[in-house]
């Protein structure tokens, strides 16, 4: 009988604009980094979900699910062979209630997500998915996020290799 656990910092439930990494580690020693953001494309909702909500959507098994990108990237029959970790940085900006503000922050988040993804790809990580850019770049903030994520990913990667 297998025991599985999940624990999280309650702050991860806060809505706003976050950058997150889902580390997916396979027993065969393969590490995948799914890099995402909160702050979806929907202008009418003008809201940003929490990273906790997003990981649930990414792993949704329903036929009607549309935002289950992580599940689509991996053989769901082999998920019991994976260790999955979520690292989230944020909220970088508070959730916005009006559509125009949402679009402004969403575009910032798109550029940050792209910068983070490109950085980890350049370091040799496999980063599945598409990352779209925008003109709302903040290179200083991107560097800070990358620095934090590098340290956290290194810790998680080391811990996962010890456990598996």
Check pLDDT > 90 for residue 4.
Answer: no
Average pLDDT over residues 71-95: 77
Residue 36's alpha-carbon distances to 89, 116, 131, in angstroms, are 11, 9, 8
- Has residue 20 been placed in a domain? yes
pTM for the model: 0.85
In a domain, 79, yes or no: yes
Task: Flag whether pLDDT at 58 surpasses 70.
Answer: yes
pLDDT at res. 6 = 80
Please report whether residue 104 resides in a domain.
yes
In the chain, % of residues over pLDDT 90: 29
Q: Is residue 1 part of a domain?
A: no
Q: What are phi and psi of 136, to 5 degrees?
A: -90, 55
C-alpha distance from residue 82 to each of 5, 15, 102 (Å): 13, 27, 35
Residue span of the structural domain in which 52 resides: 10-163
Residue 17: inside a domain, yes or no? yes
In a domain, 14, yes or no: yes
What's the structural domain count of the chain? 1
**Does the pLDDT at position 65 exceed 90?**
no
């Amino acid at each position: 009988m297998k025991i599985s656990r999940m624990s999280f910092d309650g702050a991860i439930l806060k809505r706003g604009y976050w950058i997150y990494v889902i580390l997916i580690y396979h027993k065969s020693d393969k590490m995948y980094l799914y890099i995402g953001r909160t702050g979806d494309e929907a202008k009418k909702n003008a809201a940003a979900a929490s990273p906790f909500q997003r990981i649930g959507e990414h792993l949704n098994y329903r036929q009607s699910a549309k935002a289950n990108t992580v599940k689509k990237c991996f053989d769901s029959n082999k998920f019991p062979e994976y260790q999955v970790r979520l690292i989230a940085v944020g909220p970088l900006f508070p959730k916005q209630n009006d559509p125009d503000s949402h679009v402004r922050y969403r575009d910032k988040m798109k550029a940050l997500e792209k910068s983070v993804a490109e950085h980890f790809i350049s370091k040799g990580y496999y980063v599945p998915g598409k990352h779209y850019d925008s003109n709302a770049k903040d290179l200083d903030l991107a560097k800070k996020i990358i620095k934090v994520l590098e340290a956290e990913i290194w810790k998680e990667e080391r811990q996962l290799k010890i456990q598996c």
